[in-house]
Amino acid sequence: MAVSGRRTGRPTLEEVAALAGVGRGTVSRVINGSPKVSEQARTAVERAVAQLGYVPNRAARALAGSRTDAVALVVPETEARLFAEPYFLDIIRGVSAELAAADKQLLLTLIRSEQERQRFEQYLAAQRVDGVLLVSVHADDPLPDQVRALGLPAVLNGRRTEDERVAFVDSDNTGAGRAAVAHLAARGRRTVATITGPLDMYGARCRLDGYREGLAEAGLEPDDGLVATGDFTEEGGRRAMRELLERRPGLDAVFAASDVMAAGARAVLREAGRRVPDDVALVGVDDSAVARLMDPPLTSVRQPIEEMGRTMARLLLQEIAAPGGPDDQPRRMLPTDLVVRASS
């Protein structure tokens, strides 16, 4: 706004964007020195900044895209599942520890509906956080790309596809499935079933691929009747185990793609009078407290979950400090290890 040809207030990011003919996110990226801007757009923004006399400062940092010292951790799950599954809690523990050491604030965000997703996108557009960590992403989730389009660094826990372009930290999910089946075959099990995670999640598909590779390496014939789809919940493990027993009552081993689903499978096996491990050997993934507390204790493929959270936070902090280009996103793959207990 101008009075008698003179401005009455500090120029805003929106005014710079309007004068430059670009979006607000582009202006923010230019101001923050991001390389993810065309030379033409950068020149237009710099010209508009000079013409308007726009100066980023701490008082206007939300608009200017300066540091907020806050990081959002997004979990697209309900409170019930968040607090019921050790995986999420271990990720949060790792992220929180790393951010606290860097004197950054952690904003935990649950997204349970499309309305909440839209509200969160608006929150991000206001530049109220320096970066975003995303957990439990599915193949069709557009949020990581939307975060990047706003000029904000993002790091995923896991990835959506093999060709993921957003920074991520993952574990060797294929190796997890392969190791589980190799162990079961070495113990003389010949009819090895699996309970998968949701197959719109890349990590779940990798564990299924590892299971199939393990069968081939052990000389065991694949059988689609020995594959049941779960959803990483205990109830999903129960449903899948019932399916498997109906289809292949003679199965003698089960690889469940999470400890929580293995707990559900264990309950169904007990109801059906099947002893673990005498009649059916059981292996899970995560090596969580669930595995250690089961009866009998569960053999599980250990993921370094808390370390995954720490690594995610470290990568995000590095990206905030020195943004990389779209083809220069950090990727980390952490190893998995089989922890043998009495269930197998």
DSSP string, 161-182: STT--SEEEEE-HHHHHHHHHH
Phi/psi of residue 122, each to 5°? -65, -40
Per-residue confidence at 327, pLDDT binned at 50, 70, 90? low
pTM listed for this prediction: 0.79
Evaluate whether 273 touches 232 at the Cβ level (below 8 Å).
no
Rounded CA-CA distance 341/344 in Å is: 7
**Which residues are CB-neighbours of 5 under 8 A, at least 6 positions away?**
none
Cβ contacts of residue 300 below 8 Å, gap of 6+?
259, 262, 283, 284, 285, 286, 287, 288, 291, 338, 339, 341
Is residue 157 within 8 Å of 169, Cβ to Cβ? yes
Tell me the per-residue pLDDT of 138-183, one tens digit each, with 9 for 90 and over. 898 889 998 988 889 999 999 999 999 999 999 999 999 999 999 9
pLDDT in tens, 81-96: 888 889 999 999 999 9
Strand, coil or helix: what is 194? strand
As a whole number, the mean pLDDT across the chain is 90
**Is there a contact between 344 and 277 (Cβ–Cβ < 8 Å)?**
yes
Per-residue pLDDT tens over the stretch 196-218: 999 999 999 999 999 999 999 99
What does the block give as tokens for 94? Answer: 């790792």
DSSP string over 107-122: EEEE--SHHHHHHHHH
CA distance to 42, 140, 197, 247, per residue, from 231 (Å): 45, 16, 5, 19
Alpha-carbon span 96 to 113, nearest angstrom: 25
Q: For residue range 210-267, list pLDDT tens digits in order.
A: 999 999 999 999 999 999 999 999 999 999 999 999 999 999 999 999 999 999 999 9
